[in-house]
Amino acid sequence: MTEAIVAVFLVVYLGMILGGLPFLQLDRTGIALLGAIALIGMEALTLEEAARSIHLPTLILLFSFMVVSAQMRLGGFYDLVTRRLAALPLGPAALLGALIAVVAALSAVFSNDIVCLAVAPVLIDACRQRRIAPLPYLLALACAANIGSAATLIGNPQNMLIGETLRLSFAGYFLEAIVPVLVGLALTWALIAFASRGHFAGAPDAPAPEATRGDVPSDLWQTTKGLVVAFGIVGCFVFTPWPREVVALTGAGLLLMSRKLHSRDMLGLIDWELLVLFMGLFIVNHALQKTGLPATVVADLAAAGVPLTELAPLAGVSFVLSNLVSNVPAVMLLLPSATHPLAGPTLALVSTLAGNLFIVGSIANIIVVDAAARRGIAISWRTHARVGVPVTLATLAASSLWLAWRAGGGG
């Protein structure tokens, strides 16, 4: 049975690397789900064991913030913020800095993927109206969304998983992460501004026709309601001992009770595929853990001088795995080894910042590239890498120095 479990695990994670499997119309979610089905079908796990292996608090937290973000999208919040930002009387470099700051702040609360999905098309149209090239701002959007999301335990799915599994303090994590995040954002602005010097001007393409823009009308009441609930949830996280998943789910329930926004529209914006991906990977990883092989591999690595219980090896393996299989599967694999007091912040920062390296490193990057393509802007992997690689190396270096200082007793 061990051999069969390992075979399923390897096929699933090969699919995570490739984004699919040859000859089959499967994406990462489909592969993870099929792997879970195979393990249950071959009786490697009972249905009850599979259900228990799913970390429900993480899924509830993720779902709840998807509802909050749906409220903000339907209320036109992201569109309004982007248009107001683009209208500021700033020069190109200053506007770039303002965009990075605003996107990072939004991503820390409302999730980087949602922010990119809502902001990218409006940003392109706004840049064209100002007769400035959208490309530097799109690259800044993706990078800032990823970096900003690392600031909190609700900024992205892997941070939610880390926070819920390790039961990290919300405020405590923020205090650990905010310095490297702020330094990383400043470095991102400097690198993109330098790389784009002389390339800000001009808008070679005409603005998209009005009918294809898809702007969401601003609704002050719906936006205000979403903001009040969102910051109420965060306030409870910081100042109360109440379970985060229960608080977030309660907030989501309040938002679903609306006289204007239909629950069908709210739930239609939920990323159900991501939730299914989580469930499938929880089951596949649990089955592998049952075999005892991961513990053996960790022990062998420690004997070879790569102890994953220490920060440097954990960070290095997290960086490599995040770019091989994506950050969520990487974090799931490494969480059992996260025993160091700073292992949670290390995993969260490294797995998130590593996502800027290449386009496929994070969903946020892919969302921005797809949005650009729909409006006639091609962002090749080389174009992205010219910014993504230096941004990733610089931000990881800053984070590594900070974590090394903290591990050495700094602060």
Rounded Cα gap, residues 262 and 188, in angstroms: 39
- Give me the half-sphere count of Cα atoms (radius 13 Å) on the Cβ side of residue 217: 2
Rounded Cα gap, residues 132 and 166, in angstroms: 45
Cβ(148)–Cβ(395) below 8 Å: no
Q: What is the pLDDT of residue 210?
A: 43
Rounded Cα gap, residues 119 and 340, in angstroms: 37
Three-class secondary structure of residue 387 per DSSP? helix
Tell the burial category of 192 from Cβ atoms under 10 Å away from its Cβ (0-12, 13-18, 19+). buried
Rounded Cα gap, residues 111 and 248, in angstroms: 14
The set of residues, in sequence order, having a beta carbon less than 8 Å from that of 89 and lying 6+ positions away, is none
- Measured N-to-C along each axis, helices 77-86 and 112-129 cross at an angle, to the nearest 10 degrees, of 40
Q: What is the mean pLDDT of the chain?
A: 90
Mean pLDDT, residues 314-324:
91
Q: What is the pLDDT of residues 105-126, one digit of tens each?
A: 999 998 898 899 889 999 999 9
Rounded Cα gap, residues 16 and 18, in angstroms: 6
Q: What is the pLDDT of residue 188?
A: 97
Mean pLDDT, residues 141-167:
95
Q: What is the pLDDT of residues 237-286, one digit of tens each?
A: 999 999 999 999 999 999 999 988 899 999 999 989 989 999 999 999 99
Q: What is the pLDDT of residues 36-73, one digit of tens each?
A: 999 999 999 999 999 999 999 999 999 999 999 999 99
Rounded Cα gap, residues 351 and 315, in angstroms: 8
- Residue 217 pLDDT > 70: yes
Q: Residues 263-277, buried b or exposed e (16+ Cβ, 10 A)?
A: eeebeebbbeebbbb
Q: What is the pLDDT of residue 199?
A: 67
More confident residue, 309 or 218: 309
Query: Closest by alpha carbon to 111, among 150, 58, 71?
Result: 150
Q: What is the pLDDT of residue 202?
A: 56
Mean pLDDT, residues 208-220:
59
Rounded Cα gap, residues 115 and 106, in angstroms: 7
For tokens 């969260």, name the residue: 348
Cβ(120)–Cβ(138) below 8 Å: yes
Residue 324 pLDDT class (50, 70, 90 cuts) = confident
Residue 294 pLDDT class (50, 70, 90 cuts) = confident
pTM for the structure as a whole: 0.87
Q: What is the pLDDT of residue 218?
A: 80
Which of these ranges, 90-94, 200-204, 205-209, 407-411, has the smallest mean pLDDT? 205-209
Q: What is the pLDDT of residue 247?
A: 97
Q: What is the pLDDT of residue 215?
A: 62
